[in-house]
C-alpha cells in the first residue's frame, strides 16, 4: 500500500491513538507521543514521504509488527 501524500502530523497523531499513543508534550511545531515507555516525536506540519516512512518504521518497531501491516491498519479506511 502506498503512503499518503497529504497527511499532517496532527492527523497522524490521531490515527496512532488507536494503538495507544497519546500526546504528552508539544514544543513549537513538534509533538511528543507516548505509549507506555515508548516515545515518538512527530512534526505538526505536512509530512514528507521520507519523514512519514521513518516515523512508521519506528512505530512498527515499537509495536512489534511489520510496517506494511501497520500502514494497512492506519490508512486502509482513510
**CATH number of the domain to which 14 belongs:** 3.30.920.30
Give the global pTM. Answer: 0.91
Whether 4 is covered by a domain: the verdict is: no
* CB-facing half-sphere around the CA of 75: CA atoms within 13 A: 17
Domains: count for the chain: 1
Interval 20-72: pLDDT, tens: 999 999 999 999 999 999 999 999 999 999 999 999 999 999 999 999 999 99
The answer to whether residue 2 sits within a structural domain is no
Range of the domain at 35: 9-75
Please check the confidence at residue 8 and state whether its pLDDT lies above 90: yes
More confident residue, 70 or 76: 70
pLDDT at site 1: 78
- Is residue 78's pLDDT more than 60? no
Amino acid at each position: 500500500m502506498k503512503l499518503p501524500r497529504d497527511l499532517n502530523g496532527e492527523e497522524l497523531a490521531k490515527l496512532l491513538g488507536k494503538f495507544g499513543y497519546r500526546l504528552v508534550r508539544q514544543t513549537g511545531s513538534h509533538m511528543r507521543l507516548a505509549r507506555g515507555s515508548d516515545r515518538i516525536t512527530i512534526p505538526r506540519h505536512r509530512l514528507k514521504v521520507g519523514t512519514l516512512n521513518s516515523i512508521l518504521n519506528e512505530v512498527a518497531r515499537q509495536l512489534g509488527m511489520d510496517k506494511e501491516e501497520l500502514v494497512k491498519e492506519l490508512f486502509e479506511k482513510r
